Amino acid sequence: MKKKSTIIIIVVVVVIILLFSWIKGTYNGLVSKEEAVNAQWAQVENVYQRRSDLIPNLVATVKGYAEHEQKVLTDVVEARAKATSINLNADNMTPENMQAFQNAQEQLSGALSRLLVTVEKYPDLKANQNFLELQAQLEGTENRITVERQKFNDTARIYNQSIRHFPANIFANMFGFEKIAYFEAQQGAEVAPKVEF
C-alpha cells in the first residue's frame, strides 16, 4: 500500500511540475511576443520621428524661396505639431487610438504633398542642393515608414494569433494580454488615383 501511495505522489508531483512548466512557457511566450510588438512599435515611432525632424529644415528651405506660400507652410507646421502630439504605445493601442494616430500622420503626409506640389512653381528651389537632399531624405523616410509599418503589422499579427489560440487564450485573458490594433489602409486607398496628361 505504501508503494502505491508513493507512486501516486510522484505522479501528482510530475503532473504539477509539467503543468507549471507549460503555464510558465505559455506566459513567457506571450510576454516575448508582446515585447516584440513594443519593440517594433518603437521602430515605427523612430521613422515617424525622423520624418518629423526633417520637416523644419524642409519648411525653412522652402520659406526662403516661396514667401507668399505662407498658408501651405503653416499647414505643414500645424500638421507636424498635431502628428507629434499623439502619443501611442502598446498599452493604449486600441483601434480608435490607432485610427487617430493614422489620421494625424495622413494629414501630415497630405500637407507635405501640397508643399512639394507648390515647390513645382519655383525652378530655383527645385535646383537648390539643400532642397534636393531634404526631398531625397524625405522620400527615403516615407519608404522606411511603409516598411516599418508592415513589420509592425506582421509582429502584431503573430502576437494577436498567440493570444487567441486555445488554450493560450485562457492565460492571455487571465493575465490581461489584449489584442493590438493594426495599421490599415486609409479610406479610399483601394481606388486608383485618376491620372490625366
pLDDT at 192: 44
Residue 184 lies in a domain: no
DSSP secondary structure letter of residue 92: G
CA 78 to chain centre: 21
- CATH code of the domain covering residue 34: 1.20.1440.20
pLDDT computed for residue 62 by the predictor: 75
Average pLDDT over residues 151-168: 90
- Residue 14 in any domain: the answer is no
Phi-psi region of 134 (alpha: psi -120 to 50; beta: other; left: phi over 0): alpha
Q: How far is CA 147 from CA 157, 169, 187, in A?
A: 15, 30, 20
52 exposure class (CB count in 10 Å sphere: 0-12, 13-18, 19+): middle
pLDDT at 3 over 90: no
With contact defined as beta carbons under 8 Å apart, do 51 and 141 qualify?
yes
Is 71 domain-assigned?
yes
Cα angle: 103, vertex 78, 81; to 5 degrees: 75
On whether residue 140 sits in a domain, the answer given is: yes
pLDDT at residue 76, rounded to an integer = 80
Residue 111 CB contacts under 8 Å (≥ 6 apart), including other chains: 72, 75, 76, 78, 79, 80
What is the rounded distance in angstroms from the CA atom of residue 181 to the CA atom of residue 124? 44
Q: How confident is the model at residue 82 (pLDDT cuts 50, 70, 90)?
A: confident
Tell me how far apart the alpha carbons of residues 79 and 77 are, in angstroms, rounded to a whole number.
6
Burial 157-178 (b: 16+ CB within 10 A, else e): eebbebbeeeebeebbeeeebe
Q: For residue 43, is it within any domain?
A: yes
Domain that holds residue 112: 24-175
Q: How far apart are CA 186 and CA 149, in angstroms?
A: 13
Among the ranges given (83-87, 90-94, 114-118), the one the predictor scored with the smallest mean pLDDT: 90-94
| Highest mean pLDDT out of 2-16, 82-96, 127-141, 173-187 | 2-16
* Model confidence, pTM: 0.68
Number of domains making up the chain: 1
Q: Which residues contact 35 (CB under 8 A, 6 or more apart)?
A: none
Q: Is 166 helix (H, G, I), strand (E, B) or coil?
A: coil
What is the chain's mean pLDDT, rounded? 80
Tell whether 19 is covered by a domain. no
Find where cell 507549460 sits.
22
Does 144 or 115 have the greater pLDDT score? 144
- Nearest C-alpha neighbor of 145 from the set 52, 34, 36: 52
Does residue 77 or residue 169 have the better pLDDT? 169
Percent of the chain surpassing pLDDT 70: 86
The stretch 183-193 carries a mean pLDDT of 56
Q: What digits encode the pLDDT tens for the residues 21-78?
A: 988 888 898 889 988 988 888 888 888 888 888 888 777 777 766 665 667 777 787 8
- How many other C-beta atoms can be found within 10 angstroms of the C-beta atom of residue 127? 9
Q: How far apart (Å, rounded) are the C-alpha atoms in residues 84 and 104?
A: 8
Tell me if 163 is assigned to some domain. Answer: yes
